[in-house]
Amino acid sequence: MLFCPKCGSLLRPKKEGSKTVMFCRCGFTNKEVSSVKVSESSVKKKEEAKFAVVGSEEDSVLPLTNAECPKCAHKKAFYWLVQTRAGDEPETKFLKCEKCKHTWRDYQ
């Protein structure tokens, strides 16, 4: 990457006749470039699930709280917090029943 000595912006390639030169929006042009290689790459990651499924082997690291399961009425559940909305809004509390492993959200 080359940067403009005048304004510090990234220099961009452009064709001038049979040569490729590097230029800046401020007007600077670098004609003394020996070789220019223009390439673009992007790294695509597998899209990760927004809400992780917590397996039984990971339950031991989660805190336990008093909460009634809506499915089996058990009184204890593991919980974790996830920022599912904008940063200025509160996080969502997810609960997972200790007994039947049912998962639900707590919006309070």
- Among the listed residues 89, 91, 98, 106, the single catalytic one is 89
pLDDT recorded at residue 26 = 85
Scan for tokens 């223009």, then name that residue: 38
**pLDDT at residue 36 tops 50:** yes
What is the 8-class DSSP label of residue 3?
B
Mind listing the domains of the chain with CATH numbers? 1-41 (2.20.25), 59-106 (2.20.25.10)
Sorted by sequence, the CB contacts under 8 Å of residue 101 that are 6+ apart come out as 56
Active site residue 89: yes
Query: What does the pLDDT look like over 6-25, one tens digit per residue?
Result: 888 888 888 778 777 888 88
Catalytic annotation, pick one of 32, 48, 57, 88: 88
The Cα angle at residue 4 between residues 18 and 31, in degrees rounded to 5: 25
pLDDT tens figures, 52-77: 554 555 666 889 999 999 999 999 99
Is a pLDDT exceeding 70 seen at residue 45? no
